[in-house]
Amino acid sequence: MPQKKSLDELKALSKQIRREIIEMITAAKSGHPGGSLSAVEVVVALYFGVMKHDPANPKWADRDRFILSKGHAAPVLYSVLAECGYTPKESLNTLRKLGSIYQGHPDVRFIPTLDASTGSLGEGVSLAIGMALAAKLNGSPSRTYCMLGDGEVQEGQIWESAMYASFHKVDNIVVIVDHNGIQLDGWVKDIMGIEPLAEKWRAFGWHAISLDGNNMSEVLSAFEEAEAIKAKPTVLISTTLKGKGVSFMENNPKFHGQAPTADEAKLALQELQ
């Protein structure tokens, strides 16, 4: 299993992952930088500080599982998987190219170590609950983690699965809502507001933790709290900054799904040094 990293190491790795995200999406001339950058701390914390997993034995039955339901943020997952040793780091910049394993959305046909193919929004929590329940039935200590986008929470299937998980006391699942406030067509609050978000999850029987999802210390503490919760599922309302780390991308709806130009990428990489 990858050695758990210190807080300073996790912060340094997060900056490196952000640089790789910019490089990948710039090379592809296509992709979703904003929501990839906002999710970095959570995904880095999971793979290098929280989850039990083994790149040398990727299908280990008792491993923890991660589903990136907001599959358009694939670059952050690809970069972290490569850093762990699951996939080749040298070909990250083939993102979205014909024949590349790094497809526009995570696809188990290209990366068999993935736990699910994702990108059709709204489906990830259902998949994660199934995996968590299977672990319980098998007497496995495995836990399942699932990341949603906040615009994705507008999907009805999310709330059906939320109701199911609490009714069946699925306490080995943690859902993370990457709450960056922006979706494809603009601001979430203008398209279909989702507040009060934590209270809604609590009304569905979940233990809800609100945190700054770009603060590594808070992220680690939230996962520690989640692991101690019994008899109910947990959701992290992870408030983040869209485009985190690149000043002109931060809180900018333009960069939800638009690649930076070569000049913009140069500026972004300078900021991320």
| Residue 2 within a domain | no
Report the number of distinct structural domains present in the chain: 1
| Residue 1 within a domain | no
- From CA 133, how far away is CA 219, in angstroms rounded? 25
pTM for this predicted structure: 0.97
Specify the pLDDT at position 133.
98
Per-residue pLDDT, averaged over 213-223, amounts to 98
Q: Which domain holds residue 257?
A: 7-271
User: Mean pLDDT for the chain?
Assistant: 97
- From CA 86, how far away is CA 188, in angstroms rounded? 34
56-112 residue pLDDT tens = 999 999 999 999 999 999 999 999 999 999 999 999 999 999 999 999 999 999 999
Per-residue pLDDT, averaged over 45-63, amounts to 97
**For residue 257, which of 27, 73, 103, 97 has the smallest C-alpha distance?**
73
pLDDT exceeds 90 at position 4: no
Please report which confidence band the pLDDT of residue 186 belongs to, taking 50, 70 and 90 as the band edges. Answer: very high
Residue with tokens 């900021």: 271
Per-residue pLDDT, averaged over 257-272, amounts to 98
Specify the pLDDT at position 3.
74
Per-residue pLDDT, averaged over 10-32, amounts to 98
Where b means 16+ CB within 10 Å and e means fewer, 231-259 reads: eebbbbbbbbbbbbbbeebbbbbebbebb
Specify the pLDDT at position 204.
98
Q: What residues pair up with 67 in beta bridges, in sequence order? A: 146
pLDDT exceeds 90 at position 6: yes
- Kindly report the CATH number assigned to the domain that includes residue 235: 3.40.50.970
